[in-house]
Copies of this chain bind each other. A is one copy, B any other.
Amino acid sequence: MSIFPKISFKKQAFQLREDAILDAATAILGSKGFDLMTMDDVANAVGISKPSLYKHFKSKEELVGEALIRLIDGASDYLAQMNVELSPSQKLSALLEWALRVRLDGGLPFLPSTSAHVREMLTRNIRYVTKVLMLNGKLEKLVLAAQKNGELDNTLPSDVILYSYYARTCDPAVEYLQKFSKMDNESIVTCMLQVAFQGFKTMPHN
């Protein structure tokens, strides 16, 4: 037994609760969005009181920032441990697939910046901005490499591809299909990937 069993245990419990809070916040953010998510919602979902919640995160802004940082970290990790033999375009496709599965699993849209208000708020979170810029740099390089090797259209400005790529990670069509079509999650992912890379048009025979 450790010499500091009590302290260690407490800290561990504290950390566990912190994760539970972030999980709850993530789920609520995904369903109601930032503006409608209240700190009461989060506290109730975790089963603690609001003041206790504020012991962990000193504001709603900070709580959401941490939840999004966890998401970005997940994406960066997934990208980092990817098979190095994959082509740039294959890596982009695999990461988009990951992001779609996260969302279908009740998680957050990858890029929550649909709202100008939220985007502006996140701008003030230096840790978040730093991590996003790091990931963005990697994705930008992948897009440029894929355009150079002919996998992606090099007549399009790379900005267009990059921003559209982000947009596909939070495509509302995913929720509509989940709610109003009878498709299972696998089919949704497959179709969304195809639409993202090939569009609606009939594919050329290959």
Q: Is A40 an interface residue (CB 8 A)?
A: no
Interface residues of A (CB under 8 A from B): 31-33, 35-36, 111, 113-117, 150-157, 159-161, 163-167, 170-173, 176-177, 180-181, 183, 187, 191-192, 194-204
Copies of this chain, complex-wide, total: 2
Which chain B residues border A160 with CB–CB below 8 Å? Answer: 173, 177, 181, 183, 191-192, 195
23 pairs, CB–CB < 8 Å, chain A vs chain B? A31-B116, A32-B116, A33-B116, A36-B117, A111-B172, A114-B114, A151-B201, A153-B198, A153-B201, A153-B203, A154-B202, A155-B203, A156-B191, A156-B200, A157-B181, A157-B191, A159-B181, A160-B192, A195-B199, A196-B199, A198-B198, A199-B199, A204-B204
**Alpha-carbon gap, A159 to B191, bound state (A):** 10
Contacts A172-B167, A202-B152 given; does A180 touch B159 at CB 8 Å: yes
Name the residue on B nearest A160 (C-beta). B191
**Alpha-carbon gap, A150 to B31, bound state (A):** 37
**Alpha-carbon gap, A162 to B176, bound state (A):** 10
Contacts A113-B172, A199-B198, A204-B204 given; does A177 touch B163 at CB 8 Å: yes
**Alpha-carbon gap, A118 to B183, bound state (A):** 25
Name the residue on B nearest A204 (C-beta). B204
